[in-house]
């Protein structure tokens, strides 16, 4: 492409990165929050704040399932699906759920959930309608407002560019070790380059791992061809081969009594002694085609496929059982997905995941800023900025500042919207996107340093107001969380406060930089840039 | 005869214009075609290559598929970078088309489609 391999890689790194950096920022941002999906969902449901899992969580599970089936037998004998979701370490409430009657022409009617305090066994107040952490989880790969399949293709495309940019980034980086320790402060685009390098190099293994495994999670949509060539019925054939519990049964309307739950549970515990169960689901209860699926937690194993047992719901016999021992290829493939989702992480590792994700956001953000800065520095005094430069600067401001603000507004809306509002969860999401749109419109008109300072102020105020509004509208606050050891909620508020401080630091930085920037550009630097521009 | 030469010169002018047009956008065009080669060409090559891999790997059927699926992204990104590293676009297209059709042909032979 260019004269040398090195130069063409530099060129490619710049353009591949710039084309998708804003989308990548969104993906990384939402993905980083999704590592704490359950905790964020919990924060969004104050009614569940005080339900804590008891000490003897696992030994209570048998009793909870039996009580749950009894409850569902009386509450929803006609429903098509029942589900019992057992308390986990990160989701401490017990949920009995059944499917609501299906509307005409729909394949699923949505869940009606009944929340139980696992310690006392009493019903909890129904929590407010919210998507919580699941919104960010979906946003991470389904985006929003567009068709899911299209969205996933777009996300795959951006991720591929990300992977290519990462590899070419390593290639063009001659002094990878030295740059780990160099940071030149207040030097215009030099400083941005340094922070780009530091955030990329420090977490480089994570970046490559998360991008590669992210693409692997969507691989059956992206590359179905190996499965299609090897199997007659393509991907379905592969799944049936790999997961024996993937048995499809035809629904029938013929009534038949449900088998005794105790006998099913006896079989479960002979198969898996001391199992930590997560789910007990019954399809077509009280019908001839009833099946019972029991799932167990994978714990901290690097494994994505959940151990599953499938029973016949009428005579209680075991139909299928998931594979206990994987072949080495299955282990390889399965661990890739497991590494991406990070369900295996204990709290410390989860925070490491989170910090690496933040480093990824910083890497992408500094990358987009650096491009605009460089072009600005190379511009002559009287030269007018090109359309491309204005576009990039506008998108930078709209995305880098708009997304955090939209997120803060999402959480504020969760506390401030009336609790019994119709379609409340959608209104929260609407608040998110309206805020982002507002910032984007703002960036359309002006995107100078002044606007960055203004938006940084707005962001820090929004971040501070989250714990304050939380303290005013719910029973708990950051201090009570600390005293009661509710670490998930405490960390959430703490992260808000830390981000507020960081935004204030940013304001300070932007201010000092504005005064210093005039004297900072050395003449030699300008000449060098000009030379580089000519040779490029 | 006079009319013919006029016609000729007219078409020359048209050719010239196209040439000029092409030259002024030559850089952009070469960039676009390179991205096209990287994205689409890379995709096609990766698809047939890994499909072939899933057939010839000496493993259990499901294992062969899972392994080749896990390697797709690696292959794709290698091709992508190679496309930007090689100077001549012609070389790129010829290599991609030849290797892809060779892989496709082997799949067809192995599956007994031919």
pLDDT in tens, chain A (536 residues): 556 778 888 888 998 899 999 999 999 999 999 999 999 999 999 988 888 878 888 888 888 899 899 899 888 888 888 999 999 888 888 999 999 888 887 888 888 888 988 888 888 888 888 999 999 999 999 998 899 999 999 999 999 999 999 988 888 876 666 665 666 766 667 788 888 888 888 889 999 999 999 999 999 999 999 988 888 888 888 888 888 787 777 777 788 888 888 889 989 998 888 888 999 999 888 888 888 999 998 888 888 888 899 998 888 888 888 887 888 888 899 999 999 998 888 889 999 999 999 999 999 999 999 888 888 888 877 788 888 889 999 999 999 999 999 999 999 999 999 988 888 999 999 999 999 999 999 998 888 888 999 999 999 999 999 999 999 999 888 999 999 888 999 999 999 999 999 999 988 888 876 554 444 433 333 333 333 333 33
- Residue A377 forms part of a structural domain: no
> Which residues of chain A neighbour B80 with C-beta distances below 8 Å?
160, 164
Please give the backbone phi and psi of residue B42, each rounded to the nearest 5 degrees, phi first: -60, -40
Whether A163 and B77 lie within 8 Å, measured CB to CB: yes
- Asked whether residue A391 falls in the same domain as residue A316, the answer is no
Which pLDDT value is given to residue B68?
92
For residue B40, what pLDDT band results from cuts at 50, 70 and 90? very high
- Residue A297 forms part of a structural domain: yes
Which pLDDT value is given to residue B13?
81
Considering only the beta carbons, identify the residue of B47, B55, B85 that sits closest to A230.
Answer: B55
- Asked whether residue A526 falls in the same domain as residue A406, the answer is yes
- Asked whether residue A524 falls in the same domain as residue A399, the answer is yes
Which pLDDT value is given to residue A529?
39
Residue A402, C-beta contacts closer than 8 angstroms, at least 6 positions apart: A435, A436, A439, A440, A443, A455
- Asked whether residue A294 falls in the same domain as residue A401, the answer is no
Whether A225 and B64 lie within 8 Å, measured CB to CB: no
- Residue A362 forms part of a structural domain: no
Which pLDDT value is given to residue A521?
38
- Asked whether residue A403 falls in the same domain as residue A532, the answer is yes
- Asked whether residue A295 falls in the same domain as residue A403, the answer is no
- Asked whether residue A316 falls in the same domain as residue A410, the answer is no
Q: B-contacting residues of A 225-254, CB under 8 Å?
A: 225-231, 238, 241-242
- Asked whether residue A388 falls in the same domain as residue A522, the answer is yes
**Residue where a domain terminates, one of A301, A322, A343:** A322
- Find out whether A173 and A201 touch, Cβ atoms under 8 Å: yes
Average pLDDT of every residue of chain B: 86
Task: Flag whether residue A9 sits within 8 Å of chain B, measured between CB atoms.
Answer: yes
Task: Flag whether residue A333 sits within 8 Å of chain B, measured between CB atoms.
Answer: yes
The token pair at A460 is 């820090």
Whether A1 and B87 lie within 8 Å, measured CB to CB: yes
**In total, how many domains does chain A have?**
2
Domain of residue A424 covers 382-536
**Residue where a domain terminates, one of A322, A342, A364:** A322
**Residue where a domain terminates, one of A300, A322, A344:** A322
- Residue A230 forms part of a structural domain: no
Considering only the beta carbons, identify the residue of B64, B73, B84 that sits closest to A163.
Answer: B73
Please give the backbone phi and psi of residue A58, each rounded to the nearest 5 degrees, phi first: -70, -40
Among chain B residues, the shortest Cα distance to A231 is held by B61
Among chain A residues, the shortest Cα distance to B104 is held by A229
Which pLDDT value is given to residue A42?
92
Which pLDDT value is given to residue A21?
94
Nearest chain B CA: its distance from A15 CA (Å)? 10
> Which residues of chain A neighbour B66 with C-beta distances below 8 Å?
238, 242, 329-330, 332-333
The token pair at A221 is 């949509």
- Residue A207 forms part of a structural domain: no
Nearest chain A CA: its distance from B19 CA (Å)? 22
- Residue A45 forms part of a structural domain: no
- Asked whether residue A392 falls in the same domain as residue A516, the answer is yes
Considering only the beta carbons, identify the residue of A1, A157, A327 that sits closest to B63.
Answer: A327
- Asked whether residue A428 falls in the same domain as residue A304, the answer is no
Whether A333 and B76 lie within 8 Å, measured CB to CB: no
Q: How far apart, in whole angstroms, are the C-alpha atoms of residue A465 and residue A497?
A: 9
- Asked whether residue A316 falls in the same domain as residue A413, the answer is no
Which pLDDT value is given to residue A428?
94
- Residue A59 forms part of a structural domain: yes
Which pLDDT value is given to residue A522?
38
- Asked whether residue A508 falls in the same domain as residue A427, the answer is yes
Q: How far apart, in whole angstroms, are the C-alpha atoms of residue B12 and residue A322?
A: 73
Considering only the beta carbons, identify the residue of B59, B67, B70 that sits closest to A216.
Answer: B70
Considering only the beta carbons, identify the residue of A1, A157, A222 that sits closest to B34.
Answer: A1
Full-model pTM: 0.87
Q: How far apart, in whole angstroms, are the C-alpha atoms of residue A311 and residue A260?
A: 12
> Which residues of chain B neighbour A536 with C-beta distances below 8 Å?
none
- Measure the CA dihedral A475/A478/A481/A482, to 10°: -150
Q: A-contacting residues of B 1-30, CB under 8 Å?
A: none
Nearest chain B CA: its distance from A190 CA (Å)? 26
Which pLDDT value is given to residue A513?
66
Which pLDDT value is given to residue A534?
37
Please give the backbone phi and psi of residue A115, each rounded to the nearest 5 degrees, phi first: -95, 135
- Residue A86 forms part of a structural domain: yes
Q: How far apart, in whole angstroms, are the C-alpha atoms of residue A222 and residue A101?
A: 35
């Amino acid at each position: 492409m260019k004269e040398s391999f090195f130069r063409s890689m530099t060129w490619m790194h710049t353009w591949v990165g710039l084309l998708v950096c804003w989308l990548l920022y969104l993906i990384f941002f939402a993905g980083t929050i999704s590592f704490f999906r359950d905790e964020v969902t919990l924060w969004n449901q104050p009614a569940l704040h005080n339900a804590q899992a008891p000490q003897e969580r696992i030994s209570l599970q048998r009793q909870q399932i039996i009580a749950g089936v009894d409850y569902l037998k009386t509450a929803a004998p006609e429903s098509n699906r029942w589900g019992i979701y057992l308390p986990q370490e990160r989701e401490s409430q017990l949920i009995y759920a059944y499917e609501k009657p299906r509307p005409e022409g729909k394949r699923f009617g949505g869940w009606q959930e009944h929340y139980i305090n696992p310690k006392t066994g009493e019903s909890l107040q129904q929590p407010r309608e919210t998507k919580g952490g699941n919104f960010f989880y979906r946003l991470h790969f389904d985006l929003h407002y567009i068709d899911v399949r299209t969205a996933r293709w777009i996300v795959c495309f951006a991720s591929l560019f990300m992977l290519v940019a990462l590899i070419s980034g390593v290639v063009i980086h001659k002094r990878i070790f030295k740059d780990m320790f160099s940071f030149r402060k207040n030097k215009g685009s030099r400083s941005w380059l340094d922070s780009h390098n530091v955030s990329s190099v420090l977490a480089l293994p994570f970046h490559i791992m998360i991008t590669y495994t992210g693409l692997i999670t969507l691989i059956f949509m992206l590359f179905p061809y190996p499965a299609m060539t090897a199997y007659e019925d393509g991907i379905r054939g592969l799944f049936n081969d790999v997961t024996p519990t993937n048995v499809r049964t035809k629904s029938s309307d013929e009534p038949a009594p449900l088998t005794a739950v105790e006998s099913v549970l006896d079989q479960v515990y002979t198969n898996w002694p001391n199992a930590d169960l997560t789910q007990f689901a019954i399809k077509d209860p009280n019908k001839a085609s009833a099946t019972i699926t029991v799932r167990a937690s994978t714990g901290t194993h690097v494994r994505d496929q959940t151990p599953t047992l499938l029973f016949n719901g009428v005579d209680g016999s075991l139909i299928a059982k998931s594979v206990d021992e994987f072949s080495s290829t299955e282990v390889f493939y399965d661990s890739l997905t497991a590494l991406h989702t990070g369900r295996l992480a204990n709290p410390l590792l989860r925070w490491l995941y989170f910090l690496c994700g933040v480093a990824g956001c910083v890497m992408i953000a500094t990358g987009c800023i650096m491009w605009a800065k460089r072009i600005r520095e190379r511009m002559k005094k009287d030269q007018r900025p090109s359309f491309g430069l204005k576009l990039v600067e506008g998108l930078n401001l709209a995305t880098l500042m708009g997304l955090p603000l939209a997120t803060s507004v999402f959480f504020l809306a969760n506390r401030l919207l009336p609790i019994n509002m119709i379609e409340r969860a959608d209104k929260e999401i609407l608040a998110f996107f309206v805020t982002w749109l507002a910032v984007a419109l703002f960036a359309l008109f002006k995107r100078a340093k002044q606007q960055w300072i203004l938006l940084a102020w707005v962001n820090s105020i929004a971040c501070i107001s989250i714990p304050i509004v939380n303290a005013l509208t719910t029973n708990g606050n950051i201090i009570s969380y600390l005293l009661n050891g509710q670490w998930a909620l405490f960390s959430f508020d703490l992260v808000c406060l830390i981000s507020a401080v960081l935004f204030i630091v940013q304001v300070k930085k932007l201010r000092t930089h504005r005064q210093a920037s005039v004297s900072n550009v050395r003449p030699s630097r300008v000449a060098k840039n000009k030379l580089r521009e000519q040779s490029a | 005869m006079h009319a013919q030469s006029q016609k000729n010169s007219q078409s020359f002018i048209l050719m010239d214009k196209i040439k000029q047009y092409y030259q002024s956008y030559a850089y952009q065009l070469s960039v676009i075609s390179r991205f096209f080669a990287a994205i689409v060409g890379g995709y096609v090559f990766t698809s047939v290559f890994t499909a072939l891999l899933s057939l010839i790997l000496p493993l259990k059927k499901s294992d062969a598929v899972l392994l080749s699926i896990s390697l797709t992204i690696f292959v794709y990104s290698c091709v992508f970078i190679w496309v930007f590293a090689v100077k001549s676009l012609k070389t790129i297209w010829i290599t991609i088309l030849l290797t892809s059709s060779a892989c496709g042909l082997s799949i067809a032979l192995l599956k007994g489609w031919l």
